[in-house]
Amino acid sequence: MKSKVLLILAIIFLLTSNSRSEAVENAFREKLKKFISLALKQNPELLEAKNRIKVSKEIPAQAGSLDDPVLRFGLSNLPVNTFAFDEHVGTTKDITLSQKLPFPGKLGLRTDIANKNVGVAEQSYDDLRFKIIRDIKQSYYELCFVLAAIEITQQNKKLLEQFVTIAETKYSVGKGIQQDVIKAQVELSQIIDELIALNKRKETEQGRLNSLMNLLPQSPLTIPHGIAKSSFNYKIEELQSLAEEHRPVLEQIRLTKERYQVARKLAKKDYYPNFNVGFKYGQREDGRAGGTGAFQNRPDFVSAFVGINIPIWYKTKQSRKVAEQSYKVDVAQEAYNKARNQIFLGIKELMDQEAKSSETLKLIKTAILPQARQSLESALAGYGVDKVDFLTLLNNQVTLLDWEIKYHRELTDYEQTLANLEQTVGKSLF
């Protein structure tokens, strides 16, 4: 009789222990925000992308700069029989300074291309940022599910231990059958096996979550209980519009297309020549004239030059370059259309998942779980007066356990779907 009373109290505790306070829910949300904030500061993949932006920002100034001027030293007309600098009137020591100058407008276009690359790197960073936030949420929710499953399973383990004790007691006094004892022991062993598996999953999920925050996988984590269902009030057209406006990968493709358009302008500029301007100073030694032997004061020489390249192979070079960039513009446009269609389809599929999960959660919470609890309570009352057999009571308890874990699984999947949806749209929604 005492064991039955303990069993009744334990089951009553199990049936009433699922309430969740608002304070616990707020603690759950705050902890998630802290994890996200830490990951955005410390995640190595994100820091790598941030450094790529720094790299790309150093390029525009280089692209807009002229080539280094060239300073050249040389000798002209030095006689090889004497190697005397003052013997021949044409012998000079030359200093040449030259500078390459691109056709006007080319440097500006090169700078513009480099700036577009900066924008592409920034959008790539933003897209990765939303991916990291999604990964943190999914890992966090999964860990919370495992912890909830462990808690529920441990509670049921205590009940099953009571079941085993009652079954053994009734069997020892001749009021029960051995099958009840064996069945209870088997169920208890399965529960223990499930706890072992859940604890292993707990370690795995903790390691994954720690890695996203650049912490040691074995670092301890304190997770408050209580996944609460997020409210969802968006229409598909609204989310698709938000995605087209905010999803970084679409802006990245738009910037890539603009970069190709600028590159096409630059390719057209290559029809025009570049310039190479220079100045040469030739220094001569004073000396005697060849026939008379009279001493001569020989002045130095100054020369200047302008050189241009002649694009005579424009049909196989410049024209092909213009066509190449034009095709790249078309490729980028179709890449944009493809990415947008994939994003819109992803939003539709995720919203279908959200609707299905929401209906399933409502069904489990408002119908299946209350019915399973009522069935267990009825079986418990009947068992107390020997109107329900032990196996029926045991099966009702196992059914309730399965549906409680199923509810937490569906709730976790629901929140993970919303995390995927947020990353697909490219904007914080919840």
pLDDT tens string 43-63:
999 999 999 999 999 999 999
150: left (phi over 0), alpha (psi -120 to 50) or beta: alpha
How many Å apart are CA 412 and CA 392, to the nearest integer? 30
The lowest-confidence range among 257-261, 309-313, 379-383 is: 379-383
Nearest to 301 by CA among 70, 100, 79, 89: 89
Strand order in the sheet with 92-101: 70-76, 92-101, 275-283, 301-308
- 291 — pLDDT class (breaks 50, 70, 90): low
The predicted-structure confidence for 375-402, as pLDDT tens digits, reads as follows 988 887 887 677 777 778 888 888 898 8
176 vs 155, residue with greater confidence: 155
CATH of 2-66+102-274+309-425, one of 3.30.870.10, 3.30.70.100, 1.20.1600.10, 3.40.190.10: 1.20.1600.10
Strand partners for 303: 280
- Phi/psi for 412 (5° steps) reads -65, -45
Q: CA-CA distance, 362 to 374, in Å (whole number)?
A: 17
pLDDT reading at 161 higher than 90: no
Half-sphere exposure for 103 (CA within 13 Å, toward CB): 14
Predicted confidence (pLDDT) at residue 10 exceeds the cutoff of 70: no
Does 3 score more than 60 pLDDT? no
- What is the reported pLDDT for 6? 46
Contacts of 316 (CB under 8 A, 6+ apart): none
Predicted pLDDT at 293: 63
pLDDT above 90: percentage of residues in the chain: 61
Task: Name the residue ranges covered by the structural domains of the chain.
Answer: 2-66+102-274+309-425, 67-100+276-308
What is the arithmetic mean of pLDDT over 362-383? 89
Section 341-349 average pLDDT: 96
Residues 371-377, mean pLDDT to the nearest whole number: 90
| Each residue's pLDDT tens digit, 183-228 | 878 888 888 999 999 999 999 999 999 999 999 999 988 888 777 8
Distance (Å, rounded) from C-alpha 7 to C-alpha 2? 9
Are 75 and 266 within 8 A, CB to CB?
no
| Helical (H) or strand (E) element with 135 | helix 106-172
Q: Tell me the pLDDT band of 319, cut-offs 50, 70 and 90.
A: very high
Please write the tens of the pLDDT for every residue from 98-124.
999 999 999 999 999 999 999 999 999
CB atoms within 10 A of CB 147: 20
Per-residue pLDDT, averaged over 247-275, amounts to: 95
Worst-scoring range by mean pLDDT, 6-10, 59-63, 276-280, 415-419?
6-10
DSSP for residue 66:
P
| CB atoms closer than 10 angstroms to residue 334 | 10
Backbone φ and ψ for 220, nearest 5 degrees, come out as -70, 145
pLDDT at position 193: 92
Amino acid at 370: P
Residue-level pLDDT at 1: 47
Residue 296 dihedral angles phi and psi, to the nearest 5°: -120, 140
Looking up tokens 């020997």, which residue turns up?
Answer: 386
Instruction: Calculate mean pLDDT across residues 237-262.
Output: 95
Could you tell me which residue, 20 or 358, shows the higher pLDDT?
358
Q: In angstroms, rounded to a whole number, what is the distance separating the alpha carbons of residues 255 and 339?
A: 14
Q: What is the pLDDT of residue 395?
A: 84
- State yes or no: pLDDT of 292 exceeds 80: no
pLDDT at position 325 over 90: yes
* Cα–Cα distance measured from residue 161 to residue 159, given in angstroms and rounded to the nearest whole number: 5
DSSP-derived 3-state class of residue 20: coil
Mean pLDDT of 331-352: 96
Per-residue HEC secondary structure of 255-310 comes to HHHHHHHHHHHHHHHCCCCCEEEEEEEEECCCEECCCCCCEECCCCEEEEEEEECC
Residue 153: pLDDT over 70 = yes
Q: What angle do CA 48, 40, 234 make, to 5 degrees?
A: 120
Q: Tokens 């995390």, residue? A: 419
Looking at per-residue confidence, does 320 or 228 come out higher? 320
User: What pLDDT score was predicted for residue 275?
Assistant: 94
